[in-house]
Structure 1
Amino acid sequence: EPAGGDGAIFKCQQATGEMEGGGQNGVPEKMRIAVCAWADHSTMGVAMPSNLGDVMLEEAPSVPKAAELTAKLRKEVRVEK
């Protein structure tokens, strides 16, 4: 669980996809992004934090960093009852 998770369930992993036209005109052959999801008693969400520069260089994303960014996003969008 990333810091700031407040008991929510978080799952993150790297996803890879083939790029149409990859290898031509500066388009990378593959795109690697981190995909994170969270759920708690009343909410669920999905985030795909990415950096275009890293995508274009075909760099692998930092899954722990994506988890931390997703936890921050969850904290920002929560509404207290």
Structure 2
Amino acid sequence: MEGYLAKGFKAVKIKIGRDNLQEDLDRIKAVREFIGPDVTFMVDANYSMTVEKAIKAIEGFKEHNITWFEEPIIPDNYKGFGGNCR
């Protein structure tokens, strides 16, 4: 990641979705500390979460200024997407 930042990249995205949400949040915190506040930061869960876990994740993201949370739940879970929007 350091090499990309040195080349002038202004955004990073990492994969998340471990069984233990706290491990993801710890990793997100470490990345944010490394890249600083001015780099756009996105995460991709690859459909690995339940609605409940995605909501908890969103709460945990707040202090790390996550710009984009990609694919938290499977796309056919229409009720779940509605719940996440609320």
TM-score by length of 1: 0.27
Flag the structure with larger Rg: 1
Higher helix share: 2
Larger strand fraction of residues:
1
